[in-house]
Amino acid sequence: MAECIECGASVSLHDDVEAGEIIDCGTCGSELEVIETDPVTLDTAPELEEDWGE
């Protein structure tokens, strides 16, 4: 379990959560990025444009 940094609600995590993974908060719907896994630290997932190269 971790805490949504947007609304403060508890966010449930599966066991094999990885750094970089994006989790949706079940309460407020925010997209949260897993910054670290031990312990799990969440931050708001950045909106990203796609800019592929050649």
Partner 1 sequence: MTVVVKIGGARAVDPDGALSDVASLVEGGTQVVVVHGGSTAVDDTLEALGESPEYVETPSGVVGRFTDERTMEVFSMVLPGQLNTDLVVGLQNEGVDAVGLSGVDGGLLTGARKSAVRVLEDGKKKIRRGDHSGRIENVNSDLLETLLETGHTPVVTVPMLADDGVAVNTDADRAAAAVAGALSGDLVVLTDVPGVLADVDDESSVIDRVDSPPTYETLTAAAEGFMSRKVMAATEALENGATTATIASANTERPISEALDETN
Among partner 1, Zn ion, none, what does residue 1 contact (CB within 5–8 Å per kind)? none
Interaction mask 21-50, partner 1, x per CB under 8 A? xx--------x-x-----------xx-xxx
Q: For residues 26 and 38, give the distance between their C-alpha atoms in angstroms, rounded to a whole number.
A: 22
| Residue placing its CB nearer to partner 1 in the complex, 38 or 52 | 52
Question: Does residue 3 bind partner 1 (CB under 8 A)?
Answer: no
Q: Per the omega criterion (within 30 degrees of 0), is the bond before 39 cis?
A: yes
> Can you read off the two tokens belonging to residue 1?
């379990």
Q: For residues 25 and 29, give the distance between their C-alpha atoms in angstroms, rounded to a whole number.
A: 5
- Residue count at the site for Zn ion (CB under 5 A)? 8
